Amino acid sequence: MADQTTSDQGAAGNKKLEQDLEHITQEMYKRNKELADTNRTLSLLQSIDSLVLKSHDDLKILSTQISSVIATTNEYPLVAIVGPSSLVANTLETYGFSVGSEMNIDSKILAEIKPTIHHPWFTSPEQSVFISTLSLHAKDISLFLGCSEEAAERLKSTPIKTIYIAKLVARQQIVGIMAIGNTGALESFGASERLLLERLTEAVGIALDNKVLFVENQLVLQELKKANIRLKELDQTKDEFISIASHQLRTPLTTIKGYLSMVLEGDVGPVTADERKMIQQAFDGADRMVFLIADLLNVSRLQSGKFVIDNKPTDLAKMVESEVNVQNEVAVKRQLKVSLKKPDKLPLFNLDETKIRQVVMNFLDNAIYYTPAGGSIEVELALTDESINYTVTDTGLGVPKAVQSHLFSKFYRAENAKKMRPDGTGIGLFMAKKVIDAQGGSIIFKSEEGKGSTFGFSFARQKVEIKETTPSETAPGAVAPVLTK
């Protein structure tokens, strides 16, 4: 009796165990199915992302590709993406679609689908809607899809029983509509499938929007490229003009200078003090114009590729000293104190003498013009173990930090410099950098607004020093005589 009871209890226990096992197996199946669905969704979204990233095709081809991926992965017999028509306002047109071959759907039906944004659904907060082709009349379907009743009737005769229609939204704007047809009845769309459709709708909306943005960016880029070409053409025309004008101006200027010089020297009779003062000013003006034209010509040569560096042994010490002497007269008139500091002996350097002289003069000239009366300018040539450095340090107005990066650009002039010297061209520093860079040197520049600036250049001795030639003998003493008068 007891054995029988134990056996019954054992059988009941086994049955319970079996039931539990069955339940666990079924629950695991459900979880597995959810995982498989999620996996499929992720894989699909990844495919769409990948398509958008890789595709160089236009929006319509991309839409067809996306439709095809969705249709293939999820075995939807019909996927269509429509978007705003570029031709007819307030109308949508088919961007791309994919139809399963077994569906036998005439593509003319799809071509007819042109929903208008006047349909109440477009303005409703509802993001998506399911249309049952079984229960809806052709008339209702035609109103929704913007097609003829006849096309709606033909659609009803296909195996498609449900159409999911969703607004494709990106950046809070409707960028298109996606329609997915399925052979299952409305009830066959389970929770996981509805979730997948929601995710898909979001992804396709973003994909479409990204493509539109990309295309817009490309258009802007093309416009910028065109504008750039036009600007380059204009720049070339301007350079040609500068080149021609400079050459044409130089000849009459030489004549003017020549005759003014003759008058000053008394070739046409005695000159009164007042006359001399006025003619001298005219001569100085013409002289200054010659330098301006030389600058313009150099820019022109640089643009046309005729800018050639012609290196030869150069006595930098002698050159700097002579330029300081020439400019010192102007400095004195402007009540500035100029000093020159250079080593006793300096070797010759292999440099383009004419162009370097222009740079030496430019830095000194700038220091004189941009330093208020009472200030000082220190010119220094320094020979270190590695380099030869030329610097001009002034107590002038300095360059504001914000504009320092533009200072060596062509035609650039800082606002404070414009006020102090309205007739500058903005070419000097641009050319100086070109000249120094072209010879393998580097520009020295530091400045503090209101305190002063240091402009200069530096060359590696190894690159430019001529070792075999006799060094230039200069006057003894570490510091050259102060040239201020």
Partner 1 sequence: MIDVMAEVAEKIIREQQNVIGPLAVEQAKRVAGLTIDSQNHVSLVGDKSAAINHLVEQYKKIFGQTSVEVSKNAVNNLVSGLPPQQVPSILK
Query: Binding residues for partner 1, per CB under 8 A?
Result: 22, 25-26, 29-30, 32-33, 36, 40, 75, 77, 100, 102-103, 159, 161, 182-184, 188, 190, 193
Secondary structure (3-state) at 455: strand
Nearest distance, CB of residue 43 and partner 1, angstroms: 11
Nearest distance, CB of residue 86 and partner 1, angstroms: 34
Nearest distance, CB of residue 67 and partner 1, angstroms: 16
For partner 1, the closer of residues 29 and 241 by Cβ is 29
322-345: burial string, b at 16+ Cβ within 10 Å, e else: ebbeebbeebeeeebbbbbebbee
Find out whether 366 and 393 touch, Cβ atoms under 8 Å. Answer: no
User: What is the DSSP-derived secondary structure letter of residue 186?
Assistant: G
Between CA 211 and CA 83 the distance in angstroms is: 12
Between CA 481 and CA 341 the distance in angstroms is: 8
Between CA 177 and CA 115 the distance in angstroms is: 9
Query: 254-262 contacts: CB < 8 A, separation 24 or more?
Result: 254/290, 256/282, 256/286, 257/283, 257/286, 257/287, 257/290, 260/286
Nearest distance, CB of residue 183 and partner 1, angstroms: 4
Nearest distance, CB of residue 176 and partner 1, angstroms: 25
The two beta strands, 92-99 and 78-84, are antiparallel
Nearest distance, CB of residue 203 and partner 1, angstroms: 21
Between CA 134 and CA 160 the distance in angstroms is: 9
Secondary structure (3-state) at 185: coil
For partner 1, the closer of residues 161 and 434 by Cβ is 161
For partner 1, the closer of residues 136 and 245 by Cβ is 136
Nearest distance, CB of residue 79 and partner 1, angstroms: 13
Nearest distance, CB of residue 182 and partner 1, angstroms: 7
Distances (CA, A) of 78 to 74, 132, 183, 339, 431: 10, 14, 9, 88, 67
For partner 1, the closer of residues 161 and 413 by Cβ is 161
For partner 1, the closer of residues 30 and 56 by Cβ is 30
Q: Kindly state the tokens that stand for 436.
A: 């120094």
Between CA 163 and CA 98 the distance in angstroms is: 14
For partner 1, the closer of residues 26 and 409 by Cβ is 26
For partner 1, the closer of residues 102 and 415 by Cβ is 102
For partner 1, the closer of residues 53 and 185 by Cβ is 185
What does the angle CA 426 – CA 429 – CA 430 come to, to the nearest 5 degrees? 80
Find out whether 133 and 172 touch, Cβ atoms under 8 Å. Answer: no
AA identity, residue 126:
E
Nearest to 161 by CA among 191, 128, 187: 187
For partner 1, the closer of residues 184 and 440 by Cβ is 184
Residues in contact with 362: Cβ distance below 8 Å, sequence separation at least 6, in sequence order:
428, 429, 431, 432
For partner 1, the closer of residues 160 and 431 by Cβ is 160
Secondary structure (3-state) at 304: helix
Nearest distance, CB of residue 157 and partner 1, angstroms: 12
For partner 1, the closer of residues 28 and 229 by Cβ is 28
Across the beta sheet with 78-84, what order do the strands follow?
A: 92-99, 78-84, 173-182, 162-170, 128-132
Query: Facing residues of 132 across strands?
Result: 162
Which helix (H) or strand (E) segment holds residue 365: the answer is helix 353-369
Query: 266-270 contacts: CB < 8 A, separation 24 or more?
Result: none
Nearest distance, CB of residue 16 and partner 1, angstroms: 18
Nearest distance, CB of residue 109 and partner 1, angstroms: 17
Find out whether 334 and 300 touch, Cβ atoms under 8 Å. Answer: no
119, 120, 126, 127: CA torsion to nearest 10: 20
Nearest distance, CB of residue 47 and partner 1, angstroms: 16
For partner 1, the closer of residues 74 and 425 by Cβ is 74
